Structure 1
Amino acid sequence: MNKLHEAVYVKSDNPDHEGNPLIEALPRLNNIKDYFRYCATNSIHTREEAIEKPYHIRRDYLNQLQKDFVLPNYGIWDVYQMIVNALFTSYSSRNPIKENTTEKVIKDYRDLLQIRDLTTKVAVSNSCSLFGISGIGKTTAVNLATSTFPKAILHKNLDCENFIQIPIVKVECPKDGSIKDLCRFFFIELDKILGDSTYEDDYCKKNDSESDRVNALSKLVLKHHIGIIIVDEIQHLDAQKSGGEKRMLRFFLNLDNTLGIPIMLVGTRDGIAIFKDDDKLIRRFTASGFLEWNPKPEDGEWKRFIQRLFNYQYTDEKADDNIDWPRLFYHYSQGIYSRAFQIFKIAHHLAFDYNKEKFTVSLINQVIRERLYIDEPLFEIKRKDKIKERNYNFPLEEIDYTDYRSIEVKNKLVEKKISSNIFKGKVTKTLERNKELSAQEIADKIILDLTSKPEKTKTVSKKKDINEEEEVLAANTFANLFCEDKDETYQKVKEFGDIFEFEKFRL
């Protein structure tokens, strides 16, 4: 069994929350400075610690850095506030000391099974949404916010039965849009949080129905006084495109309506399509807040992010300060945090592998050329217009990323020290003619073609010979060869080469 956090009650400043153990047992960071201070608390190893260790230990430190590194900003504060507001609003209408839980479970689960119109129950919703491009930090922000609360809180010695409160449950949206699978994911998450429960085994039987699992979920939501359910990867519903997305959304809204449990939807921008211009859905899932995160602009916040990241250079020497590293990293990441960190991390690995003492521009270019070239075309499209508007003060290599196989072949040719000016144009043609060959075989074939010496043609000398023959003809026309004596004429023409003795060629 996981160690439970035993409830410590702190009287709320809000009179409406007074005497509600679900709220008074929750910690709350009331100002942005406290939250930023919390975000900055981590176990990241400093540069000074890292450079004293061998390379394989530094690699482990990079993994820890990737897990814990965060730049406190207003975006993650907004996510925290949105979750806290939904959570406390949810608990404000629920007090285990005052309500009869058993009767409420029976009544509410019956209502929950009736997944009909979105507005059949109460009009007030506490649900919220967070959408944004992949890699922009949504999961990091959500995990930071949820980590400020205990996973499970043990309440005892109250004027009710002892119970375990689970403030937040985070699950992933099933890829097939199945409510049964969603319930199963929910049971699995509760088992992880509690440690000794067997809800998945108890409620996921071979021939059970959807209503059986919804019934069990309803009971557990109320039994553990769950405050908010966060559903990640909600774009899976749009990818399914089977019509089941509306049914799943109705299920979420009925959880909110009947049990008072707000739902937070988290996903990529593709997930916004599940609303399909439905004003009712949009209104209900943005009641407690809606955030859409786009790529970060190249501004002061981005510069602080890269500068803070560069404090954790685990290379032997620090990179030169005269290079505009924030601009270089922005060029290759286009404002996506995860991409920038990926470049930073892989650059370390290459430096360790090839005994390079520090970051250089050529090292970063090498990362893109050799390790991140597969998705580079996506970033090339994003920067295509921007690069015309700015004058970059660092070298950028022109690399053609139009085709995966051609890139692989070109990289192998570059490794052989063959200039791109030499093999330019040969790669595509050779690939088209030899589709069955591997990239290495294609490269070897191109190298063979480039290094083999073709036989010299005698076109020029033939032309010269022809000219000489024309001169001879000019001086020795048939008229000049003609004589009175037929035998003498015959002999001259024969010597000139215009008479062939066919007898020699007979079989």
Structure 2
Amino acid sequence: MEIDQINEEKYILLPSGIKAIKANYRTDEKISKYRDNPLITALPKIMSEYDAFEFMSHYPSIEQNLSEFHDNERFHSLTSVKSFFHVGKLHLNLEMTFSRFLRDSYVGRNPLDKDHATNFHILHSQLNAGEELYLPPNSLSEATSFSLIGYSGMGKSTAIERILQYYPQLIIHPAPVGTTQIVWLKLDCPHDGSMKTLCVSFFDQIDQLLGTTFLKQYKRTSVSTMVTGIAKIAKTYCIGAIIIDELQHLIRPNKTSEMLMNFLVTLVNVVGVGVMVIGTMKAKQVLQLDFRIARRSIGKVWKPLPFSEEWLTFTNELWDYQWTKEFIPHDNELSEVLYDCSQGITDLAVKIFTVAQGRAIIHKRKGISEKLMRQVVNEDLAMIKPMLKALRSGNPKAIMKYEDLYSIDLEEQLEVMSTSLDKNSLIEEHRLRAKEKRINQISLEEKVLTAVIALGKNEKKAKKVFDQLIKLDPQADETTLLVGVLQKIDEEDVIIKRTKKEQAEKEGLKVLLPIAEQAKKEKRLTYDLLKEAGYIKDPLQEFIL
């Protein structure tokens, strides 16, 4: 793979347009099995629990001038809570496990180790020949398989995505290492549960990262050929972890699930790639196949939070995000109501809390309340009531039956709420205000015009001026309008008189100029011609008359 451009400081620009990190090897690695492996020392340092909490948490900013917001602005602000992410014990434990899982996948794959080079060539030959993959016993991988299953809405996918943000996806190692390292690759299991579709997704992501053409090369081949290609790429590009999400989609009445799980175990045990699968509780059926035969396997199950100190801490953080007119303090009673409404599903709790505020804003309530939260569950989110009933029962079969019902888009829910709102009362309120304003304006108009007419001014002209002034300043009082109308009329009268005078002067000039020209031609006095034309009277005759 050719490199287009090198930034000597930090980045390398690949043909795909992706900026890859240029390897920078840490010298402060304390763990001996990690210390001399460039694939590990090029990774960021292991986070402390405090660092992990700070990195993964996200609390949206809170408006400081919320008291100045009108209802529409408050309603707009509700979706800010979408990015709220409170880190709890489950998340910290997941980060620590993933950190170890990723690094262990590189133990035994040190590109500077002679044994690694030998093993690489053995595997490469086996893959090209289509033989069964195996390695000498003394070169077994320390890579692990890792399953994370749990109830929908517990934030499994969001948590792993936040953890992945800590690690660069692509690292370029110059000589003497001389390799390209893909640290992680996350795939979503296709809805049709197809092994081929999953393989196509793998090749497509690799091509987008590296600018290669593996998809074109493998697209029309058999699944077994594709699987061999994936193993080659994983080995060549030092893939540390492959994360496959939505594993429950593999539940099909065919051998696809078994084939995939066998292949993933081979990736772990022989190729040395760490494989993590994520899914809902339904994914248990897939994991009961062959995934657990991986030599080193980690399994985590995320269940809804119990009503405990951890739940109270979570709701206490969430309670800061209120956009209603009145801030309702957090207390154990309201927290318990939210727990009952959500059954400890954290994502559902956030959405109930937010939609309840939407109801409060729309229906002119002061703030969040038990009644509003229960209305949200019973009316706005009625589709999830069977799932909540199953959770309350504690019956695993019932829970798995209904958990797919949980799919709530917060923005869509708020949009439905706002568009379905009966705005008649609001419209009627505005209509009455406008009517009252018109009545007050008519009364004011009558007072001003009566006074103006009493002062001898023209009514029609006064009405026209009044309309102009009230349009410019609807809040103007009676005195201001009376003075304004009189001034405007007087100004217009002066302008009219001046205009008439100027017009008369122009008309006079039209008559006098031709007579003056005629007098000049006839060499006579202009006075005599004006007198003959009747413009000048004989003073003696005028006097006698």
Deviation at 1:77, TM superposition (A): 1.6
The answer for the alignment partner of 2:235 in structure 1 is 222
Distance 1:45 1:148 in 2: 22
The answer for the alignment partner of 2:217 in structure 1 is 203
- Letter in structure 2 aligned against 1:96: P
CA distances 1:183-204 after superposition (whole Å, capped 9, x unpaired): 1111233345x2x625464335
Q: Is 2:384 the counterpart of 1:378? A: no
The answer for the alignment partner of 1:405 in structure 2 is none
Q: 1:339 aligns with which of 338, 343, 348?
A: 348
Contact 2:268 2:274 in 1 (8 A): yes
CA gap 1:13/1:324 in 2 versus in 1, 3 angstroms: same
The answer for the alignment partner of 2:309 in structure 1 is 300
The answer for the alignment partner of 2:274 in structure 1 is 262
CA distances 1:467-496 after superposition (whole Å, capped 9, x unpaired): xxxxxxxxxxxxxxxxxxxxxxxxxxxxxx
The answer for the alignment partner of 1:155 in structure 2 is 173
The answer for the alignment partner of 1:146 in structure 2 is 164
**Mapping of 1:39-58 within 5 angstroms?**
39-40=56-57, 42=58, 44-48=60-64
Identity score, percent: 27
Contact 1:232 1:267 in 2 (8 A): yes
The answer for the alignment partner of 1:88 in structure 2 is 103
Alignment RMSD (CA, Å): 3.2
- Letter in structure 2 aligned against 1:107: S
Deviation at 1:175, TM superposition (A): 3.4
Distance 1:22 1:123 in 2: 15
CA gap 1:209/1:384 in 2 versus in 1, 3 angstroms: closer
**Mapping of 1:52-201 within 5 angstroms?**
62-67=78-83, 69-98=84-113, 99-100=116-117, 103=121, 106-107=124-125, 109-110=127-128, 114=132, 126-156=144-174, 158-161=175-178, 163-192=179-208, 194=209, 197-199=211-213, 201=215
The answer for the alignment partner of 1:483 in structure 2 is none
Higher relative contact order (CA 8 A, sep 6+): 1
Give SS of 2:242's match. strand
The answer for the alignment partner of 2:292 in structure 1 is 282
Distance 2:122 2:160 in 1: 30
Q: Which has the higher helix share?
A: 2
The answer for the alignment partner of 2:53 in structure 1 is 36
Q: 1:243 aligns with which of 239, 251, 255?
A: 255
**Mapping of 1:355-374 within 5 angstroms?**
355-374=364-383
Distance 1:16 1:281 in 2: 26
Contact 1:203 1:213 in 2 (8 A): no
CA distances 1:147-181 after superposition (whole Å, capped 9, x unpaired): 2211222222x3143x4322111112233443321
Give SS of 1:208's match. coil
**Mapping of 1:370-409 within 5 angstroms?**
370-383=379-392
Contact 1:45 1:61 in 2 (8 A): no
Distance 1:321 1:81 in 2: 31
**Mapping of 1:411-430 within 5 angstroms?**
none
Contact 2:324 2:366 in 1 (8 A): yes
- Letter in structure 1 aligned against 2:102: L
Give SS of 1:324's match. helix
Deviation at 1:54, TM superposition (A): 6.1
Contact 2:341 2:373 in 1 (8 A): no
- Letter in structure 1 aligned against 2:153: G
Distance 2:348 2:50 in 1: 28
Stretches of structure 2 that go unaligned for 5 or more consecutive residues are: 1-16, 396-420, 423-545
Distance 1:58 1:220 in 2: 51
Give SS of 2:19's match. coil
CA distances 1:352-389 after superposition (whole Å, capped 9, x unpaired): 43343421222222212321111213313443699xxx
Distance 2:73 2:232 in 1: 47
Deviation at 1:22, TM superposition (A): 0.7
Distance 2:236 2:67 in 1: 51
Deviation at 1:129, TM superposition (A): 1.1
Contact 2:184 2:243 in 1 (8 A): yes
Name the stretch that deviates more: 224-233 or 104-113.
Answer: 104-113
Distance 2:274 2:130 in 1: 14
Give SS of 2:152's match. coil
Deviation at 1:105, TM superposition (A): 5.7
Contact 1:86 1:262 in 2 (8 A): yes
Contact 1:125 1:284 in 2 (8 A): no
Contact 1:131 1:291 in 2 (8 A): yes
Q: Is 2:21 the counterpart of 1:5? A: yes
Distance 2:197 2:26 in 1: 38
Deviation at 1:55, TM superposition (A): 5.8
CA distances 1:199-236 after superposition (whole Å, capped 9, x unpaired): 4643353x322233223322321232110111111112
Stretches of structure 1 that go unaligned for 5 or more consecutive residues are: 387-414, 417-507
Q: Is 2:32 the counterpart of 1:15? A: yes
CA distances 1:10-53 after superposition (whole Å, capped 9, x unpaired): 1221233233211001113342122112223x461214266666
CA gap 1:90/1:343 in 2 versus in 1, 3 angstroms: same
Contact 1:174 1:182 in 2 (8 A): yes
Deviation at 1:314, TM superposition (A): 2.2
Distance 1:248 1:86 in 2: 20
Distance 2:236 2:260 in 1: 23
Distance 1:45 1:355 in 2: 25
Contact 2:142 2:272 in 1 (8 A): no
The answer for the alignment partner of 1:462 in structure 2 is none
- Letter in structure 2 aligned against 1:262: G
- Letter in structure 2 aligned against 1:15: S
CA gap 1:140/1:371 in 2 versus in 1, 3 angstroms: same
Deviation at 1:340, TM superposition (A): 0.5
Name the stretch that deviates more: 54-63 or 172-181.
Answer: 54-63
Contact 1:105 1:218 in 2 (8 A): no
CA distances 1:85-138 after superposition (whole Å, capped 9, x unpaired): 22111111112233449735623535877489xx9x969761111111111121
Contact 1:112 1:251 in 2 (8 A): no
- Letter in structure 2 aligned against 1:135: G
CA gap 1:373/1:43 in 2 versus in 1, 3 angstroms: closer
CA distances 1:47-71 after superposition (whole Å, capped 9, x unpaired): 426666666665665444323x222
Give me the TM-score of the superposition, normalised by structure 2: 0.62
Contact 1:184 1:200 in 2 (8 A): no
